[in-house]
Every structure is written in C-alpha cells, then in structure tokens.
A and B are shown apart, each in its own frame.
Chain A
Amino acid sequence: MMTTNNKKSLRLFFIGWVLLTALFVVIGFVAPHHWMPRVMSPQEHMTVVTIILFTALAAPVAAGVYAVALHLLRHQTFRGNDVPPAAPAVRENSVLTVSWLATSVLLTVVVLVWGLGVLAADDGGATTNPLVVKVTGQQWLWSFAYEDNGKLVESNTLNLPENREVEFEVTSEDVTHGFWIPQMGIQVDANVGEITKIHTTPNQLGGFDVRCTQFCGLNHAFMVTTGDVMTRQQFNSWLAAQPSRS
C-alpha cells in the first residue's frame, strides 16, 4: 500500500480520534456505576468522581495514540517480502516534542492538583467526636470492639450508625492484614504492634462488606465479614444487646 497524506484520510483520523475519545469517556462514566460497589460514604463518592475525571483526561491521549496507530496501519503499511523504500527522514520536530511534553506536564499537574486536593480535604484524621471502633485482624477473622461508656462492646459484624463519623483503630494479632470497606472507599493495613487509623462517615443505610486485602495466609480468601449501616436508634439498640467487657 502506498502512503497517502490527503485531506480525506486526515479528516477520518480526526473523526476517529473524537469518536474514540467519546467512547472512552463514556466507559469511564459507565464502568464505575455498573461494576463498582454501592457508594456509601463521601470518600467513595470522591473516588468515583476522580475515576471519571481521570478517564476523561486520559481519554483524548489514549484515543489519540490509537487513532494514530489505526491511521498508520491503514495508510502507511507495506506487505510482502520486498523492503519498503526509505521514508523521509524526520529526526526532530521541536514543535511536536515541546507540545507533547507540555501537554504531559499540564495533564500531570491537573491530576496532581486534583488528587492532592481531595487528599488534603480528607486528611488529618477524624474531626468531631467520632464513634471509635477498634478493629482487630487475626488469621482469619475480623473482630470489632466499640467503646461505650467505659466498656468494650464486642461483635464479629461491623454495624455502624448512619451519618456519624466513625474512626477505626486497626491492629493485628499475628500478620499484616488489610482492612477494607469497598462501599466506603477506605482501606488501611492491620499491623502487628501498631495501631493505624482511618475514618469515614457512612451516609447510606444498608449492608456493606469488610474484606481483607493483604495476603495473610491459608484462609486469606475467607477473611470476609459484613456490616450494616442502620439508623442511630437501631444502632443503639443493637449495641445495647451485644456482650461487653470492661
């Protein structure tokens, strides 16, 4: 096939670029909503928004590279056993190089500023009088303890009141585990001899999962439990009915 640089092929290239960009943006919007767990906290909400934003920013870049590749495969290829003739030798194109680098830097800065902003907004630990839940990981079970009037109320499921900030103090008895609530977008390792903290505010009623994300041995795949976000009233009655120790 011979090379063609005519206007028609270039127009097709730009249309392809635009269509692919649109496709990727749509995927970036649909995929999280279709496949990710239900959003039950502001952290998870921001995570989904960030995924959509990053996909939208990356879409024209990815689409551009794919459009170029497809354009090349359509117009610039030679098949057969004869070596193609030498192509015009373009060793440098300062305009292209500088604009490419500038665009990468710009996109990186946008992604960074956004990411650091989201991080800073949530940083610094819990704010107002949170509900403290002690989370202990042990091969291969999560156990939870709520501080309530000087006593420790224990449970193997994690129930939480709606719209109250909760701070998890996470530790492990044996190896490193990963404490993760997929619906709330929070995760921190449970380390032996350390207490790590994360916080969130559940803002939807309903069930959620707690899964271990740090490989912890034989039954790592079974270290899963559930929790329920309930109204404050339901939570208080549930808490009162659990066994406690001083």
Chain B
Amino acid sequence: MTTTLTSPAGASLAPASTGGGLARKQNFLTGIIGGFVFGFIAWALSHHFFDNTSRSYSDLVTTFTSIGWMFGFWLGIGALNGPFAWLIGSDQTRADQLYYAGENQGKVRYWKYCTDHKVVGVQYIIMTMVLLGAGGLMAMGIRTELVAPGTHFVNQQVYNGLIAVHGMLMILALIVAVAGPWANFVLPIMCGARDMAFPRLNALSLWTLVSAAFLLLSTLAVGSLPVGWVVLAPITNQAGPGMDFFAMAIVVFSVSTTVAGVNTICTVMTMRTKGMTLSRLPIFVWGSMIAAALGLYAFPYFFLVETLQLLDRTESTSFFSAAGGGEGWLQANLFWLMGHPEVYVILIPAVAALFEIASVMSRKPVFSYRTAIGGMAGLAGLSILVWAHHMFTTGWAPTLGGPFMVTTELISIPTGVFFLVLVGTLWRGHIWMKLPTYWMFGFIANFIIAGITGIYLSDIPIDNEFHGTMFVTAHFHYVFVGSVLFGAIAALAFWYPKVTGRYLDEKLGRISFWLTFAGVQITFMAMFVSGLKGMPRRYASYSMLFEHSNFVTTVGAYTIMAGMLVLLGALITSWNKGEASGPNPWHANSLEWMVPTPPPLENFDVLPVITSDPYNYGEEKVNS
C-alpha cells in the first residue's frame, strides 16, 4: 500500500489551563477506595431507610450498595473529571488531554484512567486474562468435582454456584477477548487515526468493565448464584443477594459495552484517514464495526431484563412471576433476544482477526473481501431472528417452532461463508507456519465441529432429545473454547509484537497450542458422548452410566489447563525477555505495522494518505 506524506494534523484547543493537582493523581486504587466509600454510604443509607423485616430488604440494600460502588468507582478513578470540567465551562486544554493520554508517565499510566487507545488495549488484555483465569479456576473446580459419580469436595449447593459464575465470567471474558484489546489498540491505527473518536469513553468502557467484574465476583462472597448463568425466572426468586450483585454487574457491564460499541462505530465512520475508503479498510475493522453494531442492538435487552428482575426482587413487581400475573417465559424471551446475538458479538471479531491473519500469513489478499463482509453482516442480521431456538422445549409458542427452525438453519449459510473466505485465502498461499497460524488452523478444525453440531440442535425433534443435556454444553464449548478462544489467542500472538516489540515465545506457544488443541478434543468429544448417553447439564452429581465419559472429560480439562498455563508463562516471560521483533515482523501491509513499535502517543507523525487496500501482496512492491 503506497502512502504519501501530507502536512501534520494540527489541533489547537480552547481556553486557559485547568488545575492539575489531585485529579491527576487518581488511579485504580483511588477508584476502589471511591467505590468502597460510596458503596458504604449507599449501604448505610439503605440499611437505615429500608424496613429490615421486609422480604426485599437484602435485595434493596445490595442493589443500592452496587449503585454506590459504581458511581464511587467512577469518581475515584477520575472518569467524571472530563465531563465535569466541560460542564463548569473549564474544558480540558490540550496539555490536559495529553496528560490524560498518559504522555511521559511510563508504566504507571496503565493503572490510571488513560485515554490513549493503546493503553486501553493493553488494559483489556489484562482484564481478559483476569476474567479467563477466574472463570478457568471455576471450570477446574467443576471438572474436578465431576471426575467421578457422587459428591466429593464440594456439595451441590457450592457446585451450583460455581457453574453460574463460571458461565458469566467466561462470557464476559470472551465478549471482550478480541474486541477489547484489538478493536482498541489496533483499529484506530488501521484506520489511520490518532485515537478513537471518543478517547474518554474508551477509558470509561474499560474501567466500567472492571467495576462490573468486581460486582460479579462479589456474588461469591454472599452465597453465589445457584441458578445458572441464564438466570431464568422463577428460580431466581430463590436466589439470595448474589442475584442482585449479578444483575447490577450486568447493568454496569451494559454501560461499558454500549459505550465501547458507539466508540468503535463512530471511529470507523468518521476518523478514517484520507484515501481510506470503506472498501480499502482492513477486514478486521469491518468485523469490529459489525460486531459493535450487533452489540448495540443486543445488550440493551440484557440491561432491561436484569432491571426487571431487580424490580421483581426489590419492589414486588410481577414481571416474571406467575402468581402476580407475570410469566417466566417473558424473562426467557428477553434474555435470549440478547443471548443469541451476543454469541455472534463474541464470534465475529475473532473471525475477522483470523481473516486478517490468514491473509498476512499466506501472503495473499483476503479471498472475496466483499463476500466476507456480506457474510459477517448477514450473520449479524440473521442472528436477531433466531433467539427462540433456545426455547424450543419450553412449551412457549409451539407454532413458532417451525419459523425459528427456518431462521436458525439459514444461519449456517453465512457461517459457511467464513470457511469459504478462510480456505479461499489459504488456498495456494505460501503459508508461514508461525504461532498465529497454528491457532488459526486449530480454529478451522474446531469450528467445523461447533457449527455442524449446532445444526443438529437447530432441528426441533433432535433438540427435543438433546436440549438441556451435555450435548449442548459440548457444542457451545466447541464454539467458545475451540473456536473463539483459539481466534483470540491467534490475534494475541499476531499483534503481541506490535504491543511489546517482542515475539510471543514460539516454542512455548506451540507447546501450549498442542496441549490446548488435544485437550479440547478430549474434553469436549467425551462431553458429546455424555450428552448422547443422556446426561443432563448443570448436574452436580451423576449416575454410573456417565462415569467413563466424565472421567475422560476431566482429564481433558486438566490438559487444557496445562496449555493455558504454559501460554500464560509465555506471555509473562516474553513481555520483557522475548526475542525482539522489530516494527513489522510479519511483513504485513496494514497501517498498524507501518508505525514504529511501540507506536508514538498519537500514532502518526504525519497522517498517511491511502491509495489501496492492505492486501496487495504480489501485486505491488510493498513498502515496509
């Protein structure tokens, strides 16, 4: 891709300098302190004003404490400084903006409310690892308990709490696993921009996620959430204050993801550099934008359904309780209206990253760029129409079974397009067998199984047999662990040199790959067998019939754990001691590889002018 230099992008801003001082010292610790202080104030106030004999008392107190935590955390970390300064007519100067972007602050800026998209991207890498790690610990707790029939080291109460929190932590982790780090770190540079459209909102989305994670983990301290991660009504009526923390975590998280989605779309639509037409955008940018738009559609449902559940719990409304004239099915519908698009919000960024990787690593353009965009957009659009396939066996609206079967099976068409694009890109390519390539091939192998087993489940008679069994669990773990996680790790291995200037250790990465790949097959193939034999899911204990398949599944889980630990070891040791990579180790053509490593604060000294897309390997001489 040829670029020409133009005059520097200038920016001069308005009025006199605002004070620095205390506001500039705010960081993660002050955020936590602020959260605890305001949480305590809210707790004390609600403790005082609400009747502690009423059934809703603990729910009201927990809800208000969570709201206090959210605002206190925002205040403490400095999220509200910018808007507040604007409100009082003393807007941030350019010097302030550069400060908040972390100029000249070194490593400490990673602990602060930093508006630099590259810092936010790294913070998202850490958050993803924290969430995956916590969820992974729970997974190991679950599989260790299920190694043999009967109850072993946790009773069914604790076990039931583990599975719900494992589910929600992993879902949160995967929603941000690719979009968080890379739609933040890489996407603006790919567009030729100096930062996202709304840098302060960018930092807000990350720190709000952190705040939500605290709330979610708090459920563990109050008896957890033994109701399953889909928090169906009416069983949530039996859950303790853990349910309120969960609902508030979701409400807070919805803010984070909405803000991030708006930011991504506005950045792509308004901040592309001269010559970067939509048809010259890297495919990863398209995927991120489509996923963000889908998320903007879907997550408000989650916000809504959790708010309604909180109202049912605190104000004795009856949205979801039959006794009061409400309906449990309403909760299920609202939840799945979010829940199905959400899995594509998770999948599409991973697939888009893999398109990028496939192109670079086979030294060929993305095959059928427009079909790739059409596939992702079609998937997103169709995903809005399929939600009730999660409800085939609920008995709600049997006449709608056929139509939802139709929409669900139609989704296999855009999904098939993903294979067309990936395989078409790789075909006759010169495939460079480096770490990202391994994980990409792993994705291809696993996603076939994930997709095809989804087709079985979309058929109602088959679903009548397998719904609620480990067959479903195995299917979606092939999607999330086998496919999305592999895509996320491929993206990590691919862009790690851009963040750190070093390769993610190739040998450790390959050990991790083989352990994880083998582990996925062992774990989840054996889990399919458990499902075929008739083992329902969310079972704390099981009959002798399922003994062998569960034992094998647990062995596989330990294998995956070993693989993930080795990857963590690779990440940590490569950060400072890895082999130096230079600014463009993969000899790629998109803009992020054209800037130095690490990229300067505002990415480009001079904004580039684009004359072609980044896929012209072998078509033109490449400037690297």
The answer, yes or no, to whether B599 is at the interface (CB within 8 Å) is no
Closest to B321 in A: A192
Contact B238 A175 (CB under 8 A): yes
Q: Encode B422-433 as 1/0 by CB contact (under 8 A) with A.
A: 011011111111
A91 to B82, CA, bound (A): 46
What residues of chain B lie closer than 8 Å to A221, measured between beta carbons? 156, 536, 538-542
Given A108-B410, A111-B455, A215-B228, check contact A182 B534 (CB 8 Å): yes
Contact B539 A220 (CB under 8 A): yes
Contact B365 A89 (CB under 8 A): yes
Interface centre among A83, A85, A174, A175 (most CB of B within 10 A): A83
A182 to B423, CA, bound (A): 39
Which listed residue (B413, B448, B533) contacts A105, Cβ 8 A? B413
The answer, yes or no, to whether A29 is at the interface (CB within 8 Å) is no
Interface residues of A in 1-51 (CB under 8 A from B): 3, 5, 31-32, 35-37, 43-44, 46-47, 50-51
Q: Give chain B nearest CB distance to A119 CB in angstroms.
A: 5
The answer, yes or no, to whether B456 is at the interface (CB within 8 Å) is yes
The answer, yes or no, to whether B106 is at the interface (CB within 8 Å) is no
Contact B430 A91 (CB under 8 A): no
A88 to B427, CA, bound (A): 10
Surface stretch bound by A, among B116-124, B398-406, B568-576: B398-406
Q: Give chain A nearest CB distance to B478 CB in angstroms.
A: 13
What residues of chain A lie closer than 8 Å to B363, measured between beta carbons? 83-87
Q: Give chain B nearest CB distance to A134 CB in angstroms.
A: 15
The answer, yes or no, to whether A153 is at the interface (CB within 8 Å) is no
Closest to A212 in B: B536
Contact B235 A72 (CB under 8 A): no
Given A79-B433, A90-B367, A193-B322, check contact A220 B540 (CB 8 Å): yes
The answer, yes or no, to whether B468 is at the interface (CB within 8 Å) is yes
Contact B367 A91 (CB under 8 A): yes
A197 to B468, CA, bound (A): 18
Which listed residue (B412, B432, B529, B586) contacts A104, Cβ 8 A? B412
Closest to A214 in B: B468
The answer, yes or no, to whether B371 is at the interface (CB within 8 Å) is yes
What residues of chain A lie closer than 8 Å to B312, measured between beta carbons? none
What residues of chain A lie closer than 8 Å to B406, measured between beta carbons? 112, 116
What residues of chain A lie closer than 8 Å to B429, measured between beta carbons? 72, 76, 87
A238 to B419, CA, bound (A): 57
Q: Encode A185-208 as 1/0 by CB contact (under 8 A) with B.
A: 111110111101100000000000
Closest to B232 in A: A176
Given A77-B433, A78-B433, A187-B468, check contact A111 B393 (CB 8 Å): no
Surface stretch bound by B, among A93-101, A142-150, A159-167: A93-101
A82 to B424, CA, bound (A): 24
Q: Encode B409-451 as 1/0 by CB contact (under 8 A) with A.
A: 1101100110110011011111111000000010011001100
A54 to B237, CA, bound (A): 40
Which listed residue (A65, A66, A191) contacts B394, Cβ 8 A? A191
A187 to B471, CA, bound (A): 15
What residues of chain B lie closer than 8 Å to A191, measured between beta carbons? 322, 328-329, 394-395
The answer, yes or no, to whether A235 is at the interface (CB within 8 Å) is no
What residues of chain A lie closer than 8 Å to B83, measured between beta carbons? none
A178 to B413, CA, bound (A): 31
Contact B459 A68 (CB under 8 A): no
The answer, yes or no, to whether B128 is at the interface (CB within 8 Å) is no
A92 to B615, CA, bound (A): 13
Contact B617 A65 (CB under 8 A): no
Given A76-B430, A189-B395, A220-B540, check contact A96 B465 (CB 8 Å): no
The answer, yes or no, to whether A130 is at the interface (CB within 8 Å) is no
Q: Give chain B nearest CB distance to A183 CB in angstroms.
A: 8
Q: Give chain A nearest CB distance to B286 CB in angstroms.
A: 16
Given A90-B428, A116-B402, A176-B234, check contact A69 B532 (CB 8 Å): no
A44 to B461, CA, bound (A): 8
Closest to A111 in B: B409
The answer, yes or no, to whether A131 is at the interface (CB within 8 Å) is no
Q: Give chain A nearest CB distance to B421 CB in angstroms.
A: 9
Interface residues of A in 99-115 (CB under 8 A from B): 100-101, 104-105, 107-108, 111-112, 115
The answer, yes or no, to whether A241 is at the interface (CB within 8 Å) is no
Given A76-B429, A115-B460, check contact A92 B368 (CB 8 Å): yes
The answer, yes or no, to whether A141 is at the interface (CB within 8 Å) is no
Q: Give chain B nearest CB distance to A34 CB in angstroms.
A: 8
The answer, yes or no, to whether B469 is at the interface (CB within 8 Å) is yes
Interface residues of B in 257-292 (CB under 8 A from A): none
Contact A213 B536 (CB under 8 A): yes
Contact B468 A180 (CB under 8 A): yes
Closest to B238 in A: A217
Contact B469 A213 (CB under 8 A): yes
Contact A91 B365 (CB under 8 A): yes
Contact A222 B410 (CB under 8 A): no
The answer, yes or no, to whether B143 is at the interface (CB within 8 Å) is no
The answer, yes or no, to whether A240 is at the interface (CB within 8 Å) is no
Interface residues of B in 573-609 (CB under 8 A from A): 586-587
Contact B464 A35 (CB under 8 A): no
Q: Give chain A nearest CB distance to B479 CB in angstroms.
A: 15
Interface residues of A in 56-79 (CB under 8 A from B): 58, 61-62, 65-66, 68-69, 72-73, 76-79
Contact A185 B461 (CB under 8 A): yes
The answer, yes or no, to whether A239 is at the interface (CB within 8 Å) is no
Contact A187 B455 (CB under 8 A): no
A134 to B419, CA, bound (A): 48
Q: Encode B473-496 as 1/0 by CB contact (under 8 A) with A.
A: 000000000000000000000000
A65 to B417, CA, bound (A): 12
The answer, yes or no, to whether B227 is at the interface (CB within 8 Å) is yes
Q: Give chain A nearest CB distance to B290 CB in angstroms.
A: 19
Interface centre among B363, B430, B445 (most CB of A within 10 A): B430
Contact B444 A69 (CB under 8 A): yes
What residues of chain B lie closer than 8 Å to A120, measured between beta carbons? 402
Contact B465 A182 (CB under 8 A): yes
The answer, yes or no, to whether B618 is at the interface (CB within 8 Å) is yes
What residues of chain A lie closer than 8 Å to B427, measured between beta carbons? 68, 72, 90
Closest to B156 in A: A218
Closest to A85 in B: B430
Contact A66 B469 (CB under 8 A): no
Which listed residue (B234, B362, B402) contacts A119, Cβ 8 A? B402
Q: Which residues of B contact A (CB under 8 A)?
A: 156-157, 160, 226-228, 232, 234-235, 237-238, 322-323, 327-329, 362-369, 371, 393-395, 398, 401-402, 405-406, 409-410, 412-413, 416-417, 419-420, 423-424, 426-433, 441, 444-445, 448-449, 452, 455-456, 458-462, 464-465, 467-469, 529, 532-534, 536-543, 586-587, 615-619, 622
Q: List 6 A-B contacts (CB under 8 A).
A: A35-B533, A62-B449, A176-B232, A176-B235, A189-B395, A217-B238
In the A-B complex, the 4 residue pairs with the closest CB atoms: A213-B468, A196-B395, A193-B322, A86-B618
Q: Known pairs A65-B423, A76-B428, A191-B328. 13 more at Cβ < 8 A?
A: A5-B428, A58-B452, A69-B423, A69-B445, A72-B427, A92-B367, A92-B368, A101-B416, A104-B416, A176-B232, A220-B540, A221-B536, A221-B538
